[in-house]
Every structure is written in C-alpha cells, then in structure tokens.
Amino acid sequence: MALTDCHQESMCCKIAVAFHIQPYKGRDDHTVHENIKYIIDKYGAHAAFYKYKTSTGRSLPLFYIYDSYLTPPESWANLFTQSGSHSLRHTPYDAVFIALLVEEGHKHDILSAGYDGMYTYFASNGFSFGSSHQNWKAIKAFCDSNNLMFIPSVGPGYIDTSIRPWNNHNTRNRVNGKYYETALQAALMVRPEIVSITSFNEWHEGTQIEKAVPKKTLTRLYLDYLPHQPNMYLELTRRWAEHFSKEKEQWLM
C-alpha cells in the first residue's frame, strides 16, 4: 500500500494496484522478464492497474521487487539498463522498477542494476539500514544525486513473535498510533514522491492497518486497537495522506 496524490484520491473512490514481486525458486532476470510481460499483457489496460506519471510525462506501471539483492546487479542490468541483453527499456513493457534497500551497500548495486529507485519495506525502525529513519535523509540525497526515486516504508508497529519467537528484539510497540505517526513524519521530512505502507493486512507480523476488533483463537491472540475505534489506523492514514498531498503542493511552489 502506498501514499501518493493518486492514492489519496483512491482512498475515497477507487483503488489502483501495483505489483510486489516476491522471491520464488529460480527467480532471475529472465523469469522476471516473463512475469512483467505477463502482468502487463493481462492487466495493463485495466482501469485499476496503477500507472506512475514520470518527470518526462510518461505514465508507466510501477513494480516493487522484493529481496532484489538475491540476484546479482549484473543480471538485473540485462533487464533494466538500455544496453541490457533483453532490456525492457523503451519497449511496451517498460516500467518504473523499485528495488529493496536493506544494507547500505545495496544502494550502489541498485544503481548499477538499472533500477529506477529503492524502497525500504520493513516496518521495524532500526531493523535494517534501509528501515532506520535516521538514514533516510542520506538515502534520499544519494537517490537525488543519481536520479533515483526513494520510497520510504512506514508501518504502525511490528510484532512477529507468533511466527518468529526469537525475534522479540525487533518488536515495535504501536504506542496508540504514535509510532505510525512518527514514521510518517520521518518519511515526509525527506520529501519523497511516494510513501509505502507496510502493511494493510499482514497480521502475522503485527503491521496491519485494516479494521480490527478483539479476537482470540486457541493458538493466537489478534491485536486490536482498543480503546480506539476499529478503523483508527485507516483514519490516521487518511489524515496523513491528505497532509502529504498538501505538503507536496508546497514543495512544488
């Protein structure tokens, strides 16, 4: 889920879909080439297929490539650079391709691979170099100097101990919405084009923002937002999306 001017409108009347390509066995530049071709051929003409308007005025699909660092940058360059052996650039399958930034060194790999930008995904501040709010200013400066898009990822909190019992040190308390708002404020401070949200409904990692009511099963206690309303985080998201839209208008003046 992401906040843009377009997505702010979407929250009121419609939803646009961008694809997040996860790792799978055998994923490489060739298989992703086929993935992109299939997605655009099948869904590209759909009204709900998200298109990003670039600085040159082109409207292109936007793809997030999760765990992009698992594939060498030389392989991605075959796909994402103009001189690549099976480049998508200036073809009907050209798009805005966003890589995952985890470690600091990944930013140079992302640049040489021919990606258009980077996102940070993780909702736990401090978990990785990319997900640490304190590093976003430097990452944005690197992106700006190399004509890359920086998409900081924010979340309402983090707790995944129901599936990763050893990971308690990365738990981040929601603090009644303050953690989410602090992350959103940190993101807006670097004046990004897009802010991505992790996540709408990943309950097993405690990052959901969808409506929540108390629920308990034999094996799991689902987090709710009491004493607040079930739609607390959707309302916070709406408020910050509106704020983001107004801020972007000021940045452009």
Domain that residue 122 falls in:
3-252
- E strand or H helix at 215: strand 215-216
Asked if residue 1 has pLDDT above 80, the reply is no
Residue 3, pLDDT score? 60
pTM of the predicted protein model: 0.92
> With pLDDT > 70 as the criterion, what percentage of the chain qualifies?
95
pLDDT score at 252: 78
Number of domains in the chain: 1
Q: What is the pLDDT of residues 77-121, one digit of tens each?
A: 999 999 999 999 999 999 999 999 999 999 999 999 999 999 999
Could you report the per-residue pLDDT of 167-184, keeping only the tens digit for each?
Answer: 999 999 999 999 999 999
The domain that contains 136 carries what CATH number? Answer: 3.20.20.80
Helices (H), the chain: 5-13, 29-43, 73-80, 106-113, 136-145, 178-189, 232-251
The three-class DSSP label of residue 154 is: strand
